[in-house]
Amino acid sequence: MLSPRVVRPQPRHGSASAGSSSSRRHMVDADAANARGGVPEWEVGLPSAAELTPLSQPLIPPALAAAFGIGPADAGAIPSSVDARFLHDSPTSHLSSRFDDYDEEEGEGETEDAATGGRGEKKARMVWTPSLHHQFVEAVEHLGEKGAVPKAIVRLMNVDGLTRENVASHLQKYRLYLKRSRHGGAIATQPPQAPPPPPCFPRFAAQTPQDTANRNGYCPFVSFEKLGCD
């Protein structure tokens, strides 16, 4: 029940700004997410399957939940805990979902603040899962170039807990991506030669050599190059 509302806004660097809206940020602990991506020791201390089962098999498979836009899975919202790789996009991707509800119990593992004096509240960053991004893109396209402003987008997406700031930030990047796409014709960071796609996953069109690198099939997050063009 630890409510992270006592967040300590550490003073930036001598900026005298005092207008922080106290809207709650709800995000998961970044540590949890980070741990997901970076555990190199899989083979050492693998927990028994019995431990994993209850976690990986909630009630409904994430993809299914996503398809129906329902559910505890919160398809679009689950950070990296749930395999976002299964949620490329859903047919009905504009139903509301939520990505908060994480702040409810995040106090469970918080121990460090006790040591440092109670000001160790960390805020997790939001994760734009493929589903969320898809909703985002749909909203943007529906609103048109002129209407696609953060506020409207947030409204259209109707995702609980999604803030205007979240969208604004994402939108900024998304626009950059669009610009770049138009300019170089394609993502000009890679040679026009099409790398021979080794069959990793049928559902994943291997697009970049990076995918080849990820031949274990795990895509932590699909960035704009891969997400954007829907």
Query: Which residues contact DNA by CB under 7 A?
Result: 9, 12-13, 15, 17, 20, 25, 27, 123, 125-128, 149-152, 164-166, 168-173, 175, 221, 223-224
- Cα–Cα distances (Å) from 225 to 32, 188, 195, 214, in that order, read 26, 11, 16, 16
Which residues have C-beta within 8 Å of that of residue 196, sequence separation ≥ 6?
none
158: left (phi over 0), alpha (psi -120 to 50) or beta: left
73, 62 contact by CB (below 8 A):
yes
Task: Tell the smallest beta-carbon distance from residue 141 to DNA (Å).
Answer: 15
Task: Tell the smallest beta-carbon distance from residue 9 to DNA (Å).
Answer: 6
User: By C-beta, is 67 or 224 nearer to DNA?
Assistant: 224
Helix/strand/coil (H, E, C) string of 130-199? Answer: HHHHHHHHHHHHHHHHHHCCHHHHHHHHCCECCCHHHHHHHHHHHHHHHHHHHHCCCCCCCCCCCCCCCC
User: By C-beta, is 13 or 50 nearer to DNA?
Assistant: 13
202, 108 contact by CB (below 8 A):
no
Task: Tell the smallest beta-carbon distance from residue 49 to DNA (Å).
Answer: 30
User: By C-beta, is 46 or 176 nearer to DNA?
Assistant: 176
Task: Tell the smallest beta-carbon distance from residue 14 to DNA (Å).
Answer: 8
User: By C-beta, is 52 or 147 nearer to DNA?
Assistant: 147
Residue 86: name the closest of 40, 134, 129, 38 by CA. Answer: 129
User: By C-beta, is 56 or 172 nearer to DNA?
Assistant: 172
User: By C-beta, is 50 or 229 nearer to DNA?
Assistant: 229
Task: Tell the smallest beta-carbon distance from residue 164 to DNA (Å).
Answer: 5
Task: Tell the smallest beta-carbon distance from residue 227 to DNA (Å).
Answer: 8
Helix/strand/coil (H, E, C) string of 24-47? Answer: CCCCCCHHHHHHHHCCCCCCCCCC
